[in-house]
């Protein structure tokens, strides 16, 4: 069996591959990853335990541990000299987004919406107190909106999707957000915590948000949530373009179509009921 087919820890044992080898693995990185994986289900470990788990000799193990300690990925108890995962692991873990299935399910439908309605369609999530754009697709004939890039954040008191995402958070989380600054992107942005709290209740009760002029004057955004079986929000899908293309008799023009798309995304994620 080749090294490519070995389990992660086993692959570190006697692995002589380099970045020029057929697997394109860098040996030092492979060994460092094996050390990190050795902590799965464990707390602190001795040097001998780590070396035994990975199959590396103690000298190599010690050098790799020191390197990872310098980067914050490994920490050492000064009393026992045992090793554990460092704070950088926790920092990076907070940035992990399990969105690959989500984007795969939503992107084709966002593309349909964008091209059918000549709008920009967005997929977004709530993470670490921010509204994060996971996907942005422009309609072939519509105006391209570039104010919320993929990976970018948007103020939670502005726009359709950010307010939808916030409306479905816990009371404690909403309190935390409302206790901080609420920026005014335009004169239409709601910056009063009491008014915003009441508006969030309305959003949750009706199941959508239609935002006019509060991110950029002349632009409208319509957003709906996608919920899991327990009613917790997973993400939001939204569309945005110029006000005249979004408003019909004072109401959001494409609400039913957006809800249908959200329901299909939910179905593709395997959520029923």
Structure-token pair, residue 233: 């929000």
Does domain 3-93 fall into CATH 3.30.2010.10?
A: no
Which pTM does this prediction carry? 0.65
Domain with CATH 1.10.10.10 in the chain: 3-93
pLDDT, tens digit, for every residue of 17-46? 444 444 567 899 999 999 999 998 888 999
Domain with CATH 3.30.450.40 in the chain: 100-268
**So what's the architecture of 100-268 in CATH?**
2-Layer Sandwich (3.30)
pLDDT bracket for residue 54 (50, 70, 90): very high
Q: Are 89 and 73 in contact (CB under 8 A)?
A: yes
Write out the E strands in 105-252: 120-127, 130-138, 153-154, 209-212, 219-227, 233-242, 247-248, 251-252
pLDDT, tens digit, for every residue of 162-210? 999 999 999 999 999 999 999 999 999 999 999 999 999 999 999 999 9
């Amino acid at each position: 069996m080749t090294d490519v087919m070995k389990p992660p820890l086993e692959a570190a044992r006697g692995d002589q591959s380099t970045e020029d080898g057929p697997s394109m693995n860098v040996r030092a990185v492979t060994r460092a990853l094996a050390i990190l994986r050795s902590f799965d289900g464990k707390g602190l470990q001795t040097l001998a335990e780590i070396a035994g788990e990975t199959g590396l000799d103690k000298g190599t193990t010690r050098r790799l541990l020191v390197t990872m300690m310098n980067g914050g990925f490994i920490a050492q108890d000064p009393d026992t000299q045992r090793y554990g995962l460092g704070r950088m692991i926790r920092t990076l873990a907070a940035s992990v987004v399990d969105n690959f299935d989500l984007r795969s399910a939503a992107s084709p439908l966002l593309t349909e919406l964008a091209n059918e309605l000549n709008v920009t369609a967005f997929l977004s999530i709530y993470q670490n107190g921010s509204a994060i754009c996971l996907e942005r697709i422009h309609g072939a004939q519509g105006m391209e909106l570039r104010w919320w890039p993929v990976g970018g954040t948007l103020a939670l008191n502005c726009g359709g999707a950010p307010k939808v995402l916030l409306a479905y958070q816990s009371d404690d989380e909403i309190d935390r957000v409302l206790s901080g600054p609420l920026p005014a992107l335009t004169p239409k942005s709601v910056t009063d915590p009491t008014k915003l709290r009441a508006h969030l209740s309305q959003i949750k009760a009706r199941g959508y948000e239609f935002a006019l002029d509060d991110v950029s004057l002349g632009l409208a955004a319509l957003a709906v949530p996608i919920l899991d079986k327990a009613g917790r929000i997973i993400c939001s899908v939204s569309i945005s373009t110029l006000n005249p293309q979004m408003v019909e008799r004072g109401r959001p023009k494409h609400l039913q179509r957006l809800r249908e798309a959200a329901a299909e995304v939910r179905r593709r994620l395997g959520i029923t009921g």
